[in-house]
Chains A and B, each alone.
Chain A
Amino acid sequence: MSIDTARPPVHTDHGGPLHAVRGFFRSREIPVAGALIALVIITTVINPRFLSPQSVKDLMLNATIVIILAVGQALVIITENVDLSIGSILGLVAFGTGTLFNAWPGVPIPLVFLGGMLFGAVLGAINGFLVTAAKVPALVITLGTMYIFRGILTSWAGSKQYFSGDNPKAFGNLSVDVFLGIPIITIVAIVVVIAVGIFMHSVRAGRDLYAIGSDRDAARLFGIAVGPRVLAAFVASGALTGLAGVLYTSRYNSVGALTGSGLELDVVAAVVVGGVAISGGTGTVFGAAIGAVLLSTITSSLTATRVDKFWQQAFVGMLILAAIIVDRAVSVRNARKLRVSESRDV
């Protein structure tokens, strides 16, 4: 009895509201979101036009594609894998979309989205199958498929390009029309973030991905079907990349053989900045999405503040490094806390 009262009170508020608030402020998304808000405020103070309706709309449009890609990539990275082929997948789907509209001008637009996501999912399944069957790190496999998919695209496309003028007006309007001030394609991205976010937070299969990422062997011993889950993560990432590819065709002026090349590292960077550890098992898709917004906003805000445009990429690099360092500091602190609280329990 007396032992019980001697216990530190820390353990009594486990599920309490105080705990929830504390957890909120300790989460990895907060520093990123804070940086984003600070960036927007500073930029607006220097150049008030930064928050004009047109400028905000452009910010959202620019972020849309990367947000969707980052959500897909986050799924894969959380399982301690990585998908470097997304730039090539996006290119293939975007060019496929252009081709489809060219061959069948009256194609229903929902069908285009479905087709694009299916195409992306198939390509993602190839990655996932190779990764799970060969038991080789995804870095190598997807580096290979990055080249293969890009090669297929370049031989398919040659020097051909499809321009936005070739597409139906209604399709292009998805990136022009707004609903409640938000462009339609950005709404698509937001829906994706929320849906995948809830899935990863509350659905068994989503939690499994975290378990696999933090300790694969333990996950297997626990009875999680590691192979199928990782395969599913790659398929999902492929499908989301396919969605991004279709939206890319709507948003940008032209699609061709080079569409999406070099995008893979930008997206991995966005995910890492958003607090998803490259070593798997931690982070959320919300964080990844915020990271994507942050990286795409930096570009605009450097332009708005008339900082030499050549500094842009260097800033992005420093941001990535800062994100990793913060992440490391947080995890070291958490590990120490955990050790202390565990030793108390003993």
Chain B
Amino acid sequence: MSETLSPNIVKARSGLAKRLTGSDAIIIYILVAVIIVSMISVRFFASTLTVGFLSIQVIPILLIAMPMALVIISGEIDLSVASIAGLTSAVMGVLWRDSGWDIGIVILVSVLVGVVCGVFNGFLITTLGLPSLAVTIGTLALYRGLALVVIGDQKVANFPKELNTFVLSKIGTTGIPVVMIFVVIIIAFFAVLLHFTPFGRGLYALGFSKEAATFVGIRVGQAKFWLFVGTGVVSSIVGVFLTLRLASAGPDNGTGMELSVIAAVLLGGVSIFGGKGSIPGVVGGVLLIGVLTYSLRLAKVPETALIIVTGSLLVLSVVAPSIVSWARERLRLARVHRVVQQTSSSGSPHA
């Protein structure tokens, strides 16, 4: 009975409507609303300076959030990202101080650190089949520890001045940092990879059900392996960026960033169960936390309230969908119930 009824009663939402009411779209609406409210009510928010400061601040999290989104969509997690950034920074500092190489080569070798770290994570997780949460808690400690081994408690700060000014330089008078161009390229790369390639589409299947993904011909192990290499490389790039921005290489660069990144990714509508999420949503999530933090800070809201806001947003973002789906289910049941009653009361004599 209900089998024949339900397709008529519960109309499938069309593609566009679905896209406009999805959780990632909602995040973007909230982001726009926050920006508008801030522009109206917070002094000095509506200026090109805002764009500059804001971008420089969110770039590290924005960058790492890209591969992290892919990792979480495929049903895994990587907690070692901030430690990889720290290790990269340490290696970069020591190489620059001791090797006498050109800064370009130093940066290149430093990014290789991320490749190696990612390969190691990927090997443990895909080849040995260990749980990624446990493995990356281990490598979180290991890579941060190696950073300490490499550089000790010293700082290296004599990087070429031009590089620091380059990192902080803006495109004309727009206030947008030049490095933002690279960031946009990286975001575009991951967006295309996730949404428009068989590999990316496969990640959703992978996160949804590993067995099913294997049956439809996705090389589960290989796909995951490359994802962890991806987070490694991007984390290293962030390590280089942080080093140049702060003009200082130390073992503690980026400490604690892993949880901020994951918070932003989840806020952006990626499901921790895997199988759900999108790059625009993640970008929205990162920017929402960034903009909110920045504008509250401008409005002289104490720093401590900001942490509460971040945490509450995260909890709300995961609790709200459950409440919505619970309400939707109730409505659907009520509707089905009504229709069933109608059909039975209108009477079908041949039944």
Contact = CB atoms under 8 A, between A and B. Distances in A.
B148 interface: yes
A145 B315 contact: yes
A278 interface: yes
Interface stretch (B49-57, B104-112, B139-147, B176-184): B139-147
Interface residues on B, range: 35 or more
B55 to A, nearest CB: 23
A134 interface: yes
Interface string A241-283: 0000000000000000100001001001100100001110000
Interface string A303-327: 0000010111111111011001100
B273 interface: yes
Contacts of A130: 315, 319
B262 interface: yes
For the complex, would chain A's binding face be called helix, strand, loop or mixed by DSSP majority? helix
Interface stretch (B20-28, B161-169, B215-223, B305-313): B305-313
B312 A148 contact: yes
A178 interface: no
Interface residues on A, range: 35 or more
Given A155-B305, A314-B146, A324 B138 contact: yes
B34 interface: no
Interface string A151-162: 110110010000
B220 to A, nearest CB: 17
Contacts of A151: 304-311
A145 B318 CA distance: 12
A136 B305 contact: no
Report which residue of A155, A279, A324 has the largest number of chain B beta carbons within 10 angstroms of its beta carbon.
A324
Contacts of B263: 143-144, 147
A313 B307 CA distance: 27
10 contacts: A139-B272, A141-B315, A144-B318, A151-B306, A265-B140, A278-B133, A313-B142, A314-B146, A314-B148, A316-B145
Interface of A: 82, 84, 130, 133-137, 139-141, 143-152, 154-155, 158, 257, 262, 265, 268-269, 272, 277-279, 308, 310-318, 320-321, 324-325, 328
Interface of B: 77, 79, 124, 128-131, 133-135, 137-146, 148-149, 152-153, 256, 259, 262-263, 266, 272-273, 302-315, 318-319, 322-323
Given A146-B311, A262-B256, 19 more contacts: A134-B323, A135-B322, A136-B272, A136-B322, A139-B133, A144-B263, A147-B310, A151-B304, A151-B308, A257-B304, A272-B138, A308-B149, A311-B145, A312-B145, A314-B142, A317-B145, A320-B141, A320-B142, A325-B128
